[in-house]
Structure 1
Amino acid sequence: MKTKFLQVKTFNDVTLWNNLKDGDEKSFSILFEKYYGDLVNYGNSLSPYAEKVQDCVQDVFTDIWVYRNGLQNSVVVKAYLLSSVRKRIARLHERDHIFRKATSTDAISFLLEFSVENELIDDDYATKEKVVYLNKLLNELPARQKEALYLRYHQGLTVEQIADMLEVNYQSASNLLYRGLLTLRKEWKGNLSLIILLSLTTC
């Protein structure tokens, strides 16, 4: 099963996207399998309703297939999918009156908590103590800063892609990342790189 997963991850997104646009069901299925888990995890960070999140993710893929002829030729597939899930969940919130009605996705908050895995660091007790404190600092950040860090270091998105997803300009997205990192760097006194630790965090 793990081997199959790794094989799916190696398919080129551009090729899959173009084939999907041409009506290739296999390419569509591979994209679904490749990103479904990431999209559900991200959706769960924006809504506490797991079943509705799964419905939203499936609806995104359904729309992609149904409206494939109108899809853009050049997209960063992962960023496009994450953004589509975020927008659909925002509409869900509006429809269900869970949050205030809004025309943008700023009505939803990032809910998941970060956790740096101690076993990925070392067996040094002092280091683990610092990592526990880092987890606390991460999870006390404002929701938008947490989400920006998640998209940058978990999902590998660029600042420009994060700006598009959060519906802010480039400078605002950059500021979110900068402020989040600045807060963490003020407090993090460990030997390990903060950026490396962020890439090792789970949600």
Structure 2
Amino acid sequence: MINNPKPPRPENNVISLLSHSESIKIFENKSDEEIWKAFDKGDEFAFNYIYRIYVVKMFQYGCQFAKDHSLIQDCIQNIFIDLRRKRGGLSTVVSIKAYLFKILYREIIRKQNKNKIVGQQSFEISEEGFSIEYSHETKLINDESMERKRELVMMALEKLSQRQRQAILLMYEEGMSYKEISVAMEFSEVKSARKVIYRALASLKDLLHEKAPYLK
């Protein structure tokens, strides 16, 4: 995970942010669907809440698979500008984070493909993709004394496919449900997310047993 990220700053007269404390008071106890509907109807406090809550999360997520931080910032900025322009005609959203992660991933890939066409070399997709850094809060391993086991798990994670690591990150680092993962990764069915997670965890188990059969 990227430490101390620098999220995009809103441009003057393009994205105006109101008092964050006021938006928190209004929306902290509302569902994502309610917040999104308010935003779609033109509520500036709803827009402020969404931007403030998710902009850093989006930047951190983008840094998992893209190397150019300034381009990630541009993608996020463009996403919020585009969403604001489309207010009044947005689709229903149940999980704001999953939806924003989905369109961010799509936008970064679009930019990558565009840069390839015009011959630009400034933007690269990380070859490793979706590296996962663990802290003591991490659900996969929560015993700080078991450093060796933590190292082995991280080594095993590197053996997974990029999509498997992406799914693991969304579930264990971002705390997403299978339904949210299916949205973020654009699966047509929730069971596809379950299948990817199941196979990833099964692979992790096999890899760990291979590297350290004494670990349970």
TM-score scaled to structure 1, two decimals? 0.74
Deviation (angstroms), 1:161: 3.7
Q: Distance in 1 between matches of 2:161 and 2:76?
A: 26
Deviation (angstroms), 1:43: 1.0
**Superposed, which structure 2 residues align to 1:18-97 within 5 Å?**
18-97=37-116
| 2:200 pairs with one of 154, 169, 180 | 180
Deviation (angstroms), 1:167: 3.8
Where does residue 128 of structure 1 map in the other structure? 147
Q: Match for 2:194: what amino acid? A: S
Deviation (angstroms), 1:172: 4.0
Q: Aligned with 2:130: secondary structure?
A: coil
Structure 1, unpaired ranges of 5+ = 99-106, 192-203
Q: CA RMSD in A?
A: 2.8
Sequence identity percentage: 26
Per the alignment, do residues 165 and 110 of structure 1 end up closer, same or farther by CA in structure 2, a change over 3 Å counting? Answer: farther
Where does residue 194 of structure 1 map in the other structure? none
Structure 2 contact 182–192 (Cα < 8 Å) conserved: yes
Where does residue 138 of structure 1 map in the other structure? 157
Q: Aligned with 1:69: secondary structure?
A: coil
Deviation (angstroms), 1:155: 2.3
TM-score scaled to structure 2, two decimals? 0.70
Q: Match for 2:130: what amino acid? A: L
Where does residue 112 of structure 1 map in the other structure? 130
Structure 1 contact 109–144 (Cα < 8 Å) conserved: no
Q: Aligned with 2:60: secondary structure?
A: helix
Q: Distance in 1 between matches of 2:83 and 2:128?
A: 25
Q: Deviations over 1:43-94 (max 9, x none)?
A: 1112111100011111111111110111023432111111111111111011
Q: Distance in 2 between matches of 1:156 and 1:71?
A: 25
Q: Distance in 2 between matches of 1:95 and 1:119?
A: 38
Structure 2 contact 102–186 (Cα < 8 Å) conserved: no
Q: Match for 2:132: what amino acid? A: F
Deviation (angstroms), 1:29: 0.9
Q: Distance in 2 between matches of 1:62 and 1:42?
A: 19
Higher percent of residues as helix: 1
Q: Distance in 2 between matches of 1:118 and 1:164?
A: 28
Deviation (angstroms), 1:147: 0.5
Deviation (angstroms), 1:154: 2.1
Where does residue 104 of structure 1 map in the other structure? none
Q: Match for 2:134: what amino acid? A: V
Q: Deviations over 1:84-118 (max 9, x none)?
A: 111111110110118xxxxxxxx987623212236
Structure 1 contact 118–128 (Cα < 8 Å) conserved: no
Deviation (angstroms), 1:20: 1.1
Deviation (angstroms), 1:134: 1.1
